[in-house]
Amino acid sequence: MVRKYILNRIFSVFSVLICHLLAAGSIHAAWQSSTSGTSQHLNGVYFVDSSTGWAVGLTGTILQTKNAGSSWSAQTIGVPATSLQDIEFSGAGASTGIVVGASGLILRTTDTVTWQTMNSGTTNNLNGVSLVVNTSTVWAAGAGGTVRVSTDSGYFWKNGDLLGNITGNPTFKAIFVVNDLTIWAAGNLGALWLTNNAGNTWTNMNTVSVENFRDIFFVGPSTGFLVGGSYVWKTMNSGGTPWSLVFSTSTNMNAVHFVSTDTGWVVGASGVVVTSTNSGNSFIPEASNPIANLNDVFFLNSTVGFAVGDSGAIIKYVPTTSSSTSETSEADGSLTPLNNVFDPSQGQVTTIRYYLRKSGSVSIKIYTLQGRLVRPLINEQRDAGTYQDVSWNGRNESEELVAPGIYLVHIEAPNFSSSKKIAVLR
């Protein structure tokens, strides 16, 4: 009977823990697997509405969904199978789309069904494409410092580096059109180039790093994000001064997409997904499945998003909402991990800030998602107020580094309990 009571009590505590986790809104979203029907690596994804989208990848793979990712069907490209790297359409609801790939391949559709091969004028690999929304201008970039531009919706292509300013033959991995005149290209070994006059002249803007940049994204003319290696940088003045490092980890980051100046996502190796709701000032993890390298991410709006990756991986964003059945309110207290994505093998820690409305006994502990205790942090008396005197170094009670994954920091205080997620990377 005693054993049964103890087990029931443990189950009750863990159930309450998960309820508080949901009530506190700390599970910000889930990502669900979508069956792609292919094992080929997927490199690019784009949606024109909440139901209709495409994914492209190796061996000429083009997949289309018309039911928000519930199923995908292959489209025929009509040319020998080759690596496809990126895809984009000319805005929401558009029927004109461009795909770029190896050996200068450019595919174009105007009916979302059939794809025609365009003469790109280059045999260099093309890795990125970007369209000026609601106009007929399209840009593509790739190996050997190649930049190509079309002003007739991707039918005729010409050199986009008119004066040959781009030197060093950089391998561009991404290109982003801010407006008709302003275009950024980013790539390997710190390649970061900018034109403010539609390609008449280009300027080397690398004041950041020699990392292999993988993606670049701007929200409006001023606010931009750049990912490469295990870093995310941000600019708020069109890149005119050195970009600021806003996030770092030990996991390679491959793609970034923001839907507003506040809200965006970054995806990377081993299925890592992090999101920011405060313009990149901090990022929080979101669980993804399967654990595959993610190569691209696209959001139509704040609730419709997809990411694609290796071995045919496609995951769909499923936002969750905070429960209205929370037993406490924010007025009773708060719990905030200040750095909830960290790498303890690099000596990083997460600092925990908490607010108490009432004085009393305070307990803060780390748990696994399954409810197993990892490490108690404090169990002490505290006066009412705001504190920032607790940190976790990613180790268990035996001072061993914990396995990479998602953990919970849980607080019990007078009239207040809450749990928040922390991602441990290595």
Q: Are residues 301 and 337 in the same domain?
A: no
Predicted pLDDT of residue 1:
41
Q: Are 365 and 377 in contact (CB under 8 A)?
A: yes
Write the single-letter amino acid at 176.
F
Q: Are residues 390 and 261 in the same domain?
A: no
| Per-position DSSP letters for 268-303, written without gaps between them | EGGG-EEEESSTTS--EE-B-SS---EEEEEESSSS
Distance CA 8, CA 13 (A): 9
Q: Are residues 133 and 258 in the same domain?
A: yes
Residue 345 lies in a domain: yes
- Percent of the chain, pLDDT > 70? 88
Q: Are residues 284 and 232 in the same domain?
A: yes
Q: Are 86 and 107 in contact (CB under 8 A)?
A: no
Distance CA 85, CA 215 (A): 12
| Residue that terminates a domain, selected from 301, 319, 337 | 319
Q: Among residues 275, 250, 278, 251, which one has the least CA distance to residue 262?
A: 278
**Reduced to 3 states, what is the DSSP secondary structure of residue 350?**
strand
Q: Are residues 181 and 261 in the same domain?
A: yes
- What CATH number has the domain bearing residue 356? 2.60.40.4070
- Contacts of residue 215, defined as CB under 8 A and 6 or more positions apart, other chains included, come to 173, 174, 186, 226, 227, 228, 254, 255, 256, 296
Predicted pLDDT of residue 240:
66
Q: Give yes or no for residue 263 having a pLDDT over 80.
A: yes
Could you tell me the pLDDT band of residue 23, with boundaries at 50, 70 and 90?
Answer: very low
Q: Give yes or no for residue 176 having a pLDDT over 90.
A: yes
Residue 14 lies in a domain: no
| Residue that terminates a domain, selected from 270, 295, 319 | 319
- What CATH number has the domain bearing residue 309? 2.130.10.10
Residue 257 lies in a domain: yes
Which of 253-267, 362-376, 401-415 has the largest mean confidence? 253-267
* Domains identified in the chain, total number: 2
Task: Extract the tokens encoding 96.
Answer: 């004109």
Residue 123 lies in a domain: yes
Residue 276 lies in a domain: yes
Query: How far, CA to CA in Å, does 222 sit from each of 219, 225, 240, 257, 348?
Result: 7, 10, 9, 15, 31
| Residue that terminates a domain, selected from 319, 350, 376 | 319
Residue 10 lies in a domain: no
Between CA 291 and CA 299, with CA 293 as vertex, the angle to 5 degrees is 95
Q: Are residues 363 and 336 in the same domain?
A: yes
pLDDT tens-digit map of 98-133:
999 999 999 999 999 999 999 999 999 999 999 877
- Percent of the chain, pLDDT > 90? 56
Task: Extract the tokens encoding 105.
Answer: 């391949």
Q: Are residues 294 and 342 in the same domain?
A: no
Query: How far, CA to CA in Å, does 325 sit from each of 24, 236, 329, 357, 358?
Result: 10, 39, 10, 20, 22
Q: Are residues 174 and 210 in the same domain?
A: yes
- Chain-centroid distance, C-alpha 149: 27
- Contacts of residue 172, defined as CB under 8 A and 6 or more positions apart, other chains included, come to 127, 128, 141, 142, 143, 145, 146, 147, 185, 186, 187, 191, 193
Q: Give yes or no for residue 327 having a pLDDT over 60.
A: no
Residue 130 lies in a domain: yes
Domain of 418 in residue numbering reads as 328-424
Q: Are residues 266 and 358 in the same domain?
A: no
Predicted pLDDT of residue 97:
94
Predicted pLDDT of residue 296:
98
Predicted pLDDT of residue 9:
37
Q: Are residues 291 and 350 in the same domain?
A: no
User: What is the pLDDT of the chain when averaged over all its residues?
Assistant: 86
Residue 363 lies in a domain: yes
Q: Are residues 280 and 356 in the same domain?
A: no
> Model's pTM, two decimal places?
0.72
341-342/416-424 β-pairing: parallel
Q: Are residues 186 and 51 in the same domain?
A: yes
pLDDT tens-digit map of 71-89:
999 998 888 889 999 999 9
